[in-house]
Amino acid sequence: MRKGAVRLCATIGNMSAAPADVTVLRAILDAQRAAFRKKNPSYDDRIRALRALERAVIARKVEIAKVISDDFGGRAHEETLSLELFPLVNEIRHAARSLKRWMEPRFADTPWQFWPARSQVIYQPVGVVGILAAWNYPLFLSFGPLAGAIAAGDHAMLKPSELAPRAAELMAKIVAELYPPEYITVVTGDGEKAAEFTHLPFDHILFTGSERVGKEVMKAASENLTPVTLELGGKSPALIHSSYSIKTAAARILAAKLYNAGQTCVAPDYVLLPRDRQTEFVDAAKEAVAGMYPRLAANPDYTHIVNARHYERLKNLVEDARRKGSGVVEMNPASEALDESARVFPPTLLLNCSDEMTAMNEEIFGPVLPVVVYSTLDEAVEYINARPHPLSMYYFDNNRKRVRDVLARTLAGGVTVNDCVLHVGQPNLPFGGIGPSGMGQYHGFDGFVTFSKKKGVFLQSRWSPVSFLRPPYGPLARRILKFLIGG
């Protein structure tokens, strides 16, 4: 593959090193489309490509963790390994193990009226797909969808976020070493280049990011009638039933909330708990934070906010809530002075939250956790249902009947029961939002399907009963139609 990469780079330019305007981007797309038409990747081609990606990210795991930490100004290497490397490698291995079965035609039931004909479904690669990734988990949100595209047999152009530039450059380098650019290419650059990217006539676009930008991506894709998968976000609730251990729930919610300092699209965005358990929850949250992060300043385990703009946004969210009557509980176990220039934002609870607060209307994307109290479970469910459908929901309850009831009465992209976030790491579960939190899904087989054309095929037999329903229509045709339709 490396020789091919060098050969084509000489003709269209190395996109990871040079700025690209829309003409050059289109040239890459055209080269990929021509290569795809010439030869679709076979099963063996796809397996080799998947295994090469797996080996490459494992071999460079230390470098990957370092550049991502540098982009954030500090992120635990263990966090990158557990939240990006592990799920990515798991996704690749699952696809490689399952690919032969996924690619096989699936026979479908044929109504008896058409016997002895048969029906089947086949999955074909759609062509060239575009992947636009977010900055918060730059590796997983770039190479995770790429694994699905490779498994489906597509060619791909990948645009990582400019807010994690070191990670983007490293991914471009990895891809350039593994694949010829007429197969897979990484395009780096600013938001303007990302906008140009969305206007290309891809055969499918997968975007991960905010609702606001998702609307722009969808609008641009509509110009070419390009289908889109949007992985957005929103306000994912964590609902605690009155019978569940507050201490256990708080520990699990705070752990998930503080991964990546809350800069996670599926992080618990607010907590719903019984009205008389708020003090208990605050105490349990403080204990959980102190156990995980006894110090915040210069703690390599606590991730920094990605840039000054996002840090300032979080400060404004907290101050807005304070002005509007919220009780603000800053959890700083060692009572340290935190240098704002280091962008270490303390875990913060917002109590007595109301709907007019900005924190209750925008995705927080940081270590700030609003707390909403309820009197009855019905009231809590209604609170969730009165808001846009979230990307994820978390429910804490050991009563199976109530769990089934809450799941049936609420709508969310995905759910983890009695914990948070973990449904995202299951390769056999689809991942995707609904409404404002996204559309479409991927991961595992669902990623393979997203990047494939699911083609229905009808296989006519040598003898066909349909031949009796051709002109000229006579008594036999009318009797057959009366039998088929009834009445």
H helical segments located in 418-466: 444-450
Closest CA to 258 of 220, 209, 291, 213: 291
Catalytic residue among 54, 182, 265, 353: 265
Mind spelling out the 3-state secondary structure of 98-146?
Answer: HHHHHHCCEEECCCHHHCCCEEEEEEEECCEEEEECCCCCCCHHHHHHH
Catalytic residue among 231, 353, 363, 420: 231
Encoded tokens for 449: 């399907």
CA 424 to chain centre: 8
Bridge partners of residue 393, in order along the sequence: 415
Q: Residue 279: what are its φ and ψ, rounded to 5°?
A: -60, -40
Q: From CA 198, how far away is CA 389, in angstroms rounded?
A: 26
Measured from the Cβ of residue 36, the count of other Cβ atoms closer than 10 Å reads: 20
Residue 231 designated active-site = yes
| Residue carrying structure tokens 């925008």 | 362
Decide: residue 397, CB within 10 A, 0-12 exposed, 13-18 middle, 19+ buried.
buried
Bridge partners of residue 107, in order along the sequence: 120
CB 454 within 8 A of CB 123: yes
Q: Which residues carry out catalysis?
A: 231, 265
